[in-house]
Amino acid sequence: MNTSSLDVEEQEPRSVVDDVVAQMRELISERGLTVGDQLPTEKELCEAFGASRNTVREAMRILKAYGVVKVRQKVGATIVDNRMSSAMEMFSFNVMEISRDTFSDIQGFRCLLEVSSVEELFDKITDEDIGDLRDINAKLLTTEGVEFAAEQDFLFHTRLIQVLRNKAILDVYGLMKPVILRIIQKGKTRRTFENDTYREHEEVIDAIAARDRIAYQYLMKTHLEAGYAHFNVTDPFPEKPK
């Protein structure tokens, strides 16, 4: 048996499973199944797709990993919508170390959302939003531990993103939470959050309350780029060739 024929044989089981996954998704769509609805039994799926029990089970595991179904004993498979949380878990698993380049990319993206969108932010923000931001920031003074302080810091920025009233943007921001938290924590101590982060947030809020667009953009950009120094000092990555 030559190598090419062996490769084809090894790929066939995966192709069969992929086909069944596609058929299951078509079945869900055609029957108009939605969150909370039950999928047919394993036996019924095998008969419908002409597939083996193992193939159907593997396809179900893939759908479960995608956050599309939940499988329970004696209950079977139920349609769910955990796609975002599943994606966040996979993203978190793959985030190991943060390089200086990653820091620049992520903070650059955050600047687009939190700095460049100043006009939309100022048009949509309400007194209630500003009050929430102050309440969230105040908790930085009482939250214990760097990890909990980082969560509170992230919550502050998430609450600001919510002002845009755009679920897609908010979902993407949530998806990036694991890497953003690592960036927030980099080189910081509990005292850093109490002194620097809290003060910088308050200055940003004051600029928003005063509807001072220039001050807001300067303060937020400076705040987001502040952590860059930690990567220069503790992680001396080589500069990109010019």
Q: For domain 3-81, give the CATH number.
A: 1.10.10.10
C-alpha span between 227 and 183 (Å, rounded): 7
**What does the pLDDT look like over 58-93, one tens digit per residue?**
888 888 877 788 888 777 888 887 655 555 555 555
Residue 225: burial class (beta carbons within 10 Å; 0-12, 13-18, 19+): middle
pLDDT at position 122, please? 96
Q: Are 185 and 153 in contact (CB under 8 A)?
A: no
Helix (H) / strand (E) containing 7: helix 3-30
pLDDT at position 12, please? 42
Tokens of 120: 């939309």
C-alpha span between 90 and 93 (Å, rounded): 5
Q: Does the predicted model carry a pTM greater than 0.85?
A: no
Q: At residue 110, what is the residue type?
A: R
**What does the pLDDT look like over 196-220, one tens digit per residue?**
999 999 999 999 999 999 999 999 9
C-alpha span between 144 and 190 (Å, rounded): 7
96 φ/ψ angles, rounded to the nearest 5 degrees: -105, -70
**What does the pLDDT look like over 176-202, one tens digit per residue?**
888 888 888 887 888 889 889 999 999
Looking at the domain covering 98-234, what would its CATH class be? mainly alpha
Domain ranges of the chain: 3-81, 98-234
